[in-house]
Amino acid sequence: MASGFFALLDDIAVLMDDIAAMTKITTKKTAGILGDDLAVNAEKASGFVSSREIPVLWAITKGSFLNKLIILPLAFLMSAFIPWAVIVVLVLGGFYLAYEGAEKIYEFFVPHPKNVKVDLKKDYTDNELLDMEKAKIKSAIVTDFILSVEIVIIALGTVSNEPLTTQIIVVSIVALIATVGVYGIVALIVRMDDLGLKLIGKSNGKSGVLFSIGTFLVWALPKIIKSLSIIGTIALILVAGGIFVHNIAFLHHFLEQLPSIIRDFIVGLLAGGVCLLVVNGVKSFLPKKSKQH
């Protein structure tokens, strides 16, 4: 009886070691899209009144948890009953990531005017501010849903050959890390300028260590958000390229003489370019909205 109990403990220990190892590998494979997730949410969570930044971020975080609760069961059901669909969704998601990355690069090199509605009204009522806040939160949660689908499917694809129980544990841990980790870092980022202003306020005049650190934090916030956006764009293309190379047979040996990171970027960029051409081509045939005066 005792030997059976210790054998069970040994099996549990081995299982936990396997889960820890697979979680580490899976987290690395989703790190690229987590970078873009971080950049997007840092941008969406900023721009509010200081006192509202954390409440807004908490509302988005709760929405992200709800997104995971919807996505995870559906993903596990798909893996259990139609496992081939995981690869299909993974590749389709790869095209979406490649398109998004290529579109960001295209907009950087070929900027085009956007229809931006400028409201010259300076004083908003409390209800108007609340409505604006809710709209931004809703937009962030929708974006999170799309990125969460990709994170879950990439994680699921990494452990698709493992037993369903292992898939559930590993993918759930990765989803939890994605939510807590990303929004925890976003919270630190969006509060950087407030911390900087407090340090400046506590400094003696315009000199000293506190003033220098505070000034640096205020200066660094927009630079960090912009840098994260660039890193996230590159990561999107790399993740997409990796998905194609590993899951599409005829790409297994494509440019294999190159380092894998360069090959993945080239494949992702080519796929994104094709998607961009197709989408822009379709848009050119659609009727344009008439301007309202």
Q: Give tens-digit pLDDT for 137-166.
A: 887 787 778 778 878 887 887 777 777 887
Q: Which residues contact 88 (CB under 8 A, 6 or more apart)?
A: none
Name the band, by pLDDT with cuts 50, 70 and 90, for residue 11. Answer: very low
Out of 18-22, 73-77, 239-243, give the one with best mean pLDDT.
Answer: 73-77
Phi, psi of 115 (to 5 degrees): -80, 100
The confidence score (pLDDT) of residue 238 equals 83
Higher pLDDT, 13 or 6: 13
Phi, psi of 250 (to 5 degrees): -70, -5
Name the band, by pLDDT with cuts 50, 70 and 90, for residue 266. Answer: very high
At residue 290, does pLDDT exceed 70? no
Higher pLDDT, 34 or 97: 97
User: What token pair was written down for 51?
Assistant: 């006192």
Higher pLDDT, 90 or 46: 90
At residue 23, does pLDDT exceed 90? no
The confidence score (pLDDT) of residue 191 equals 74
At residue 15, does pLDDT exceed 90? no
How many whole angstroms separate alpha carbon 104 and alpha carbon 267?
17
The confidence score (pLDDT) of residue 222 equals 77
At residue 281, does pLDDT exceed 60? yes
How many whole angstroms separate alpha carbon 34 and alpha carbon 93?
14
Cβ-based neighbour number of residue 269 at 10 Å: 19
Q: What is the pLDDT of residues 197-254, one digit of tens each?
A: 788 877 776 677 878 888 888 888 778 777 777 877 887 788 788 888 888 888 878 8
DSSP 250: G
Phi, psi of 118 (to 5 degrees): -100, 125
Query: In Å, what is the CA distance from 60 to each residue of 48, 232, 293?
Result: 13, 20, 35
What's the gap between Cα 50 and its chain centre? 24
Burial of 197 (0-12, 13-18, 19+ CB in 10 A): middle
Determine if the pTM surpasses 0.75.
Answer: no
User: What token pair was written down for 60?
Assistant: 């988005």
Domain boundaries, given as residue ranges, for the chain: 14-190+228-278
The residue among 129, 144, 149, 134 whose CA lies nearest residue 41 is 144
Name the band, by pLDDT with cuts 50, 70 and 90, for residue 120. Answer: very low
How many whole angstroms separate alpha carbon 250 and alpha carbon 159?
22
Higher pLDDT, 289 or 80: 80
3-state secondary structure of 216: helix
Would you say 272 and 98 are in contact if contact means Cβ atoms under 8 Å apart? yes
